[in-house]
Every structure is written in structure tokens, then in C-alpha cells.
A = this chain, B = another copy of it.
Amino acid sequence: MNKKGILIVVSGFSGAGKGTLIKELLRRYPKKYALSVSATTRKPREGEQEGREYFFKTQEEFEKMIAKEELIEYAGYVNHYYGTPRAYVEQKLEEGKDVILEIEIQGAMHVREKFPDAVLLFVTPPTASELQRRLVDRGTETPEVIASRLQRAAEEAEGMAQYDYLVVNDQLEACVEEMHHILQGEHRKSFRNHRFMEKVKEELQQLKGE
């Protein structure tokens, strides 16, 4: 069956728990999944390691990567570039790992254009009021920040239907397994298994000739 990895995009509301979900998925199935490491022009913060949190680039280096199409997608935020280097992703896919990109909807749509076989997941809590409750329960956000997060969520919600799957993060344990099952199921799609089908066909032709 399909040995090559699948490119996986994970988006979702801020507060939906997608970071925790991805971290737990990688912890449980380290041989199956890899997390894409982004490139950025911002300076490393204390404790951040080259190639672990980010690939740190100068603006000139980053713009060269853009020009040479070495990035799957990129965007500028507050004077800095962030992007997904193609080489790392393709290397992991070749190794047979599913590579997870945690990006926002604009990036997700670019990935789909360039990689039509990518699988797009949108992480959501079971209800919007649960999202609000989680943002409030953090206890670190001002009412203004919570309001702006909900405003942003309302915008992001308009894009949900563009994703292949909705992952409802109610109980973390169950949700990690569900995500794993969705992704393993994707490996069984017939369009991802042309080589397997050709082999079965050839072998049947030989057997019936015997």
C-alpha cells in the first residue's frame, strides 16, 4: 500500500487546541508523522534552536528562497516573513512520514493548489460557546483580546467548508485517535495506491495465464 507520506494541513480556531493535538499525535506516532519546520526572518528567541523551532534566515536569504520557489507557502507578518520550506517537507514525505503544516487558511489554500493530494483538517471545539469558555478559562487574556479572538474565529469559520475534514476537539484523547484514524484512512484511498493496483493487476494476468 501507499508508502509515501501525505501532506497534512491543520488549521483551526485559536483556542481549539490544535497545538496540543498535534504535539500529542507526534508523541504517540513518531514514526508516522513529522512536523514541518517553518523558515522565518525574525531573530531566534532564547532557547530556540535552528531547525527545531524555525530555520532562521536573513531577509535576503528568505527572498532568495521565494524567488527560487523553495517555499510551499509564505506570508509576511509584522515586518517578518514566515514560510514553509519545500525541501524539508519533501524529504520527510519521501521517508514515508505524513508531514503536518500548522498554518492559516490563506496558506492552506495555497498548499491545496500546489499539492492537490494534501489533506486539510480544521480543528474546532464542539460549540462556539465552548471556544469562548476556553479563551476565558486561560485567565491570561483581557476581555478585549477575547473579543478580538472571537471576531477572528467568526471570520475563520467562513472558510471551514474549504477543508476536507472537521476535527471536533472535545476530549483530547479521543480526538487524537480520531485524527490518526482519519489520516490512516487517507492512506487507503485508491488514488494514493496506483502502484499497488498495478501490481495486483499484473499478478492476476500472470496467474490466469498459468
Contacts and interface: CB of A to CB of B under 8 A. Distances in A.
Nearest to A197: B160
A201 B197 CA distance: 42
**Chain A, interface SS category:** helix
A31 interface: no
16 contacts: A1-B166, A122-B190, A127-B199, A128-B203, A154-B204, A157-B204, A161-B190, A161-B191, A165-B189, A166-B190, A166-B193, A168-B188, A178-B184, A178-B188, A181-B184, A181-B185
Given A160-B200, A166-B190, A167-B188, 17 more contacts: A127-B199, A128-B203, A151-B208, A153-B204, A154-B201, A161-B194, A162-B190, A164-B190, A165-B185, A165-B190, A166-B196, A166-B197, A168-B188, A181-B184, A182-B185, A182-B188, A185-B186
